[in-house]
Structure 1
């Protein structure tokens, strides 16, 4: 994880600060797919322990046509023949399932679990449906009641709607798992799989990292992730899901290989694991520049020499000669600091110890303080400032659309491909005042109309602004409909993408709020963004927000509680768990007690906060004119 893009950069920065400022904090790192241990050991100043023990034996296989080969490092070509598939295929089935997935999965399900990794999200859904189409009807009887409960739960999550694919596959104990699902759908599917209600998941590579869902058999549909050939680390992460300690006596993985990829797979199996490398330089504005700004802002390092000293202790400092052969570490630091000064985030002079006669400290500017306290990506810092400044000239407050535009994350706009007919339809449904927002931000009506009708556009319009407005339309629809399903269908987007946009917007809105709190000129945004952050975080009708503050209460449950008469925190805090179980469908006694306990705690915290506020208001000030006069009189009498 430490070598993975912006996530890796953030983790490295956090660890480096802990190591630099604290000598007593204990850090424990673990990995099953790490090659260059020495670099990490030097960075973390750590002891190194290694063990090849695996509680459940893992056997690796490769399938070519109908033959299964066992991976064998001692063999000349990397694997040895094991056996041929023993499954009769009709000509029709052979055409529908040329990779013999049905033969491979029916050897283990439904009594054991199985994962099938697919290259794409669409392939996950297609494979799940294809397998169900040819399975025996007896599979539907396995844990039938629990499968029905799972479908009911998915229906509640989708506000009455279930994905048509899942509706067909869950009854067979099969589901797909990828980022196109909402987080609640993924959680329900993961829990059902862990409990054995689902015996087969078709999934993308994201399930291999960070999700603990082991299986008796893991099948890799192809040695690809999307169109990219598998890396050794990815391969090891996927096959590492095979074998469940305490459940299975063995685990096995099968990689399906086409003849054209045979030599590539042989190289993959025999190759070493990839090195874990620092992302600080690759993620420039989120990485090294962000780190240097926070070092000065937190006063961990205040001048060039102290910054260089800190950077030597990072993973990037350890690997610098390998990662950047053309420039030295001090050159990279100097360039980064100069860029921060040029952007108006830092002020001061950059001088080495030889150049300066006395210490020359760098200082953070107000804009820099706002950027690092708001955790704003420095690539978009100046753009955000300009957009907020422009908003002050004519902020449209008749609806929240203009504010939503300002809260739409910059990093999502370049992954957006607007459907121009949908864009045009959404635009025409806006009121005249709301259409003015599009004009203010720089998207004229004529541009949207011409794009929707397929006409040639001669006028230059910023694609980032166009995409950002489109995403703000999605968010606006969400706040009005509060239904991810309806909005995803309306905009032809996956519900997972829509939910990710909503979560990112809620986070970014909070970041923009903290950014504005540091800049007096943006005081007007504080109250507006506080309320918008809350609306984006919960994305429900206003009356449900207090209920959703309770731990374990999501939108569907909040609606159930509200409709049953539990409309406030006080109602929930004073509820009887036995009555709650009877009135609310699919709530266990344990869940009812947890909800009531959480509501009581939340109500108590709010009451204590109000009590403190009351006491503060009633407290006698010490600097009243009467108090000052009494003190002066006492002093005069004492002197006399």
Structure 2
């Protein structure tokens, strides 16, 4: 037996490889490129492990890349647990870094964009990489597809790096294999048999022709299906298409699920942790905590990552019985359940409701059945009426997933990645550009790359016109072009920033609108009809500060109100408006707010870096302050205090209002006063951070002050 296979089996406690793993092992262990297309939970990760371990035994590094931070973190933790003898790293953060520290590690887990960023920075340790594993490679058909395609084309042209691409079941996996010059492993094998069907009037029509009666007491199909599942002592995942639906379905199921809860004390503990995930909980936090206490949770991008982790952990332990989620969960972390119920297969797409792709349904259905616990899993679609049953059955249950297609041909993708290609080489010839694009997935699918090369010519002309490259016989990136590529922003965004830097406006609104008016902050929040009058009224009030003339007859930005709404959201955030008030006023939940804040902070940093390059120090200083304010969500006066560990925007404001306005004030503060404001434990920690020792009498006064404060609070709440 191959020593790599032997090691994998021993660490997992397996006696043999499964059919998918066996089919791939020969190719992986001989160093060939491999594409594996198989269902969810079919053991593709073990194939990746074999490839990684082979590279490590040859003295090479391994890179494992996937779409989500959460997924990268999950794979990182699992590999570290199984193979502690290897130095394993997680690289998902700062895009403006080559992560030089990674040279000391054997395996690096990362996201697509972070790996692309590392390639742009020309990290020297990349020359030591022997294998790159690309998980969820079918995402090549998504908005992020061009990044996957460019990463893989770069490694393909290196020739010395083994490529292992893992995909969900797709009909044209052979095209991916042809592109990557790879062996193809296609399998329908699953460790747990999957039964798919359609539910209507408490009856499920399954794909094997069988019919099952749902035994729940309710006449409502959804409620009855939940009751039937919980009566069997099993768990359920419900998929809905929107965050609001996920929350409303979870609320609706609370009284039903509550009857089946086995461990209320464990759920109370999870519920309390969910409330503590934010410094000051919002109504959404309280709603989730209440649901979790009754054994049901909603799970979507509007939760902060800590809350999602708590829900996932409690579901895995069997404490939470039902999770109502949006489809992002199906594409993310490994969270199987005996049953999956797809509540709806239609989603609003801007021009009305449209059916979701079969591939997306199959991804959700693939979460049904827990290996080692269930002998089969059940995935069921809820039909709204009799007429839908056959339609859903034929299209989704019996349907084939769609082909995946290259998205590299769009102007945005070409602009972004062509600049990166020119910025990572001393110069780029027309022949080199042709060679690169001739080796893309686009070239395999469409044959003639002439069309895309014509577009590249247009993109290069635009880049030259705007100062990102110089063109002679070859294309050479300017300092502006190189820095833009390293900062991982669209050249169009960089041009907008350069325009701002040359004619700066230092007000918060003008600065924030400049950040918002970029591709990086899309998709923008939606604007309802009811919101429009107030948004226009506020636009009039801030008219002199908004850096666009929205009254001009030439003004044709139909997304202006969406951009303006996001500008106001960020403005509220940096001015310390409570997250719950932001949620109520703008309908933006903490998780979504965090995503906007993270991207806006990055853009503020990028604008600052470009102003530094252009030697505009005043703009750089302002951008630096704004980046910090966006990060912490505070006014400038609190920036000193929020640098302290354990001090967020709420606690910093309390300290400031109590007269502790900076680190100097903190060092000389009365410990008893601090204990009243933030509690004795936090007060001691803050004083320790500024090097202040506390005497015995001071500690006694701190305890007394905290006790006095609690007594006063009790009087008001009795």
Please report how far the alpha carbon of residue 288 of structure 1 lies from its aligned counterpart in structure 2 after TM superposition: 1.9
Please report how far the alpha carbon of residue 171 of structure 1 lies from its aligned counterpart in structure 2 after TM superposition: 2.5
Residue matched to 1:382? 495
- Worse-superposed segment, 225-234 or 535-544: 535-544
Secondary structure of the residue aligned to 2:575 is: helix
Please report how far the alpha carbon of residue 102 of structure 1 lies from its aligned counterpart in structure 2 after TM superposition: 1.5
Residue matched to 2:176? 40
Q: State how far apart, in whole Å, the 1-side matches of 2:522 and 2:147 are.
A: 22
1:128 aligns with 2:250: yes
Contact persistence 2:427–2:474 (CA under 8 A): no
Q: Deviations over 1:115-143 (max 9, x none)?
A: 0111322222222222224x275335x21
- Worse-superposed segment, 231-240 or 339-348: 339-348
* Higher RCO structure, 1 or 2 (CA under 8 Å, sep 6+): 1
The one of 308, 315, 324 aligned to 2:441: 315
What is the root-mean-square deviation of aligned Cα atoms in Å? 3.5
Unaligned runs of 5+ in 2: 1-137, 653-677, 695-701, 703-718
Secondary structure of the residue aligned to 1:124 is: helix
Please report how far the alpha carbon of residue 366 of structure 1 lies from its aligned counterpart in structure 2 after TM superposition: 4.4
Please report how far the alpha carbon of residue 569 of structure 1 lies from its aligned counterpart in structure 2 after TM superposition: 7.9
Please report how far the alpha carbon of residue 574 of structure 1 lies from its aligned counterpart in structure 2 after TM superposition: 11
Q: State how far apart, in whole Å, the 1-side matches of 2:252 and 2:215 are.
A: 20
Residues 50 and 415 of structure 1: is their aligned pair in 2 closer, same or farther, counting only changes over 3 Å?
Answer: same
Q: State how far apart, in whole Å, the 2-side matches of 1:458 and 1:101 are.
A: 52
Unaligned runs of 5+ in 1: 73-79, 350-359, 448-456, 576-582, 584-640
Residue matched to 1:364? 477
Residue matched to 2:512? 404
Secondary structure of the residue aligned to 2:364 is: helix
1:475 aligns with 2:570: yes
Residue matched to 2:100? none
Secondary structure of the residue aligned to 2:238 is: strand
Residue matched to 2:468? 345
1:563 aligns with 2:700: no
Residue matched to 2:418? 292
Contact persistence 1:216–1:244 (CA under 8 A): yes
Q: Deviations over 1:122-166 (max 9, x none)?
A: 222222222224x275335x2111221222122222414453543
Residues 30 and 136 of structure 1: is their aligned pair in 2 closer, same or farther, counting only changes over 3 Å?
Answer: closer
Please report how far the alpha carbon of residue 367 of structure 1 lies from its aligned counterpart in structure 2 after TM superposition: 4.1
Secondary structure of the residue aligned to 1:109 is: helix
Contact persistence 2:216–2:226 (CA under 8 A): no
The one of 618, 631, 639 aligned to 1:524: 618
Please report how far the alpha carbon of residue 23 of structure 1 lies from its aligned counterpart in structure 2 after TM superposition: 3.0
TM-score normalised per structure 2: 0.65
Q: State how far apart, in whole Å, the 1-side matches of 2:392 and 2:566 are.
A: 41
Secondary structure of the residue aligned to 1:29 is: strand
Q: State how far apart, in whole Å, the 2-side matches of 1:30 and 1:478 are.
A: 40
Please report how far the alpha carbon of residue 493 of structure 1 lies from its aligned counterpart in structure 2 after TM superposition: 3.0
1:154 aligns with 2:274: yes
Q: Deviations over 1:371-419 (max 9, x none)?
A: 323322234443333233221xxx336xx44433333352346734453
Residue matched to 1:270? 398
Please report how far the alpha carbon of residue 297 of structure 1 lies from its aligned counterpart in structure 2 after TM superposition: 1.6
Residue matched to 2:185? 49
1:139 aligns with 2:260: yes
Please report how far the alpha carbon of residue 538 of structure 1 lies from its aligned counterpart in structure 2 after TM superposition: 3.5
Please report how far the alpha carbon of residue 313 of structure 1 lies from its aligned counterpart in structure 2 after TM superposition: 1.2
Q: State how far apart, in whole Å, the 2-side matches of 1:277 and 1:569 are.
A: 57
Secondary structure of the residue aligned to 2:211 is: strand
Contact persistence 1:232–1:274 (CA under 8 A): yes
Residues 247 and 564 of structure 1: is their aligned pair in 2 closer, same or farther, counting only changes over 3 Å?
Answer: farther
Q: State how far apart, in whole Å, the 2-side matches of 1:329 and 1:423 are.
A: 41
Q: State how far apart, in whole Å, the 1-side matches of 2:376 and 2:651 are.
A: 40
Contact persistence 1:388–1:406 (CA under 8 A): no
1:415 aligns with 2:521: no
Q: State how far apart, in whole Å, the 1-side matches of 2:396 and 2:187 are.
A: 23
Contact persistence 2:600–2:630 (CA under 8 A): yes
Please report how far the alpha carbon of residue 369 of structure 1 lies from its aligned counterpart in structure 2 after TM superposition: 3.2
Q: State how far apart, in whole Å, the 2-side matches of 1:474 and 1:569 are.
A: 36
Secondary structure of the residue aligned to 1:383 is: helix
TM-score normalised per structure 1: 0.72
Look at both structures and tell me which one has the larger radius of gyration over its CA atoms.
1
Secondary structure of the residue aligned to 2:685 is: coil
Q: State how far apart, in whole Å, the 2-side matches of 1:24 and 1:187 are.
A: 38
Residues 554 and 271 of structure 1: is their aligned pair in 2 closer, same or farther, counting only changes over 3 Å?
Answer: farther
Contact persistence 2:197–2:204 (CA under 8 A): yes
Q: State how far apart, in whole Å, the 1-side matches of 2:643 and 2:210 are.
A: 63
1:229 aligns with 2:323: no
Q: State how far apart, in whole Å, the 2-side matches of 1:555 and 1:35 are.
A: 51
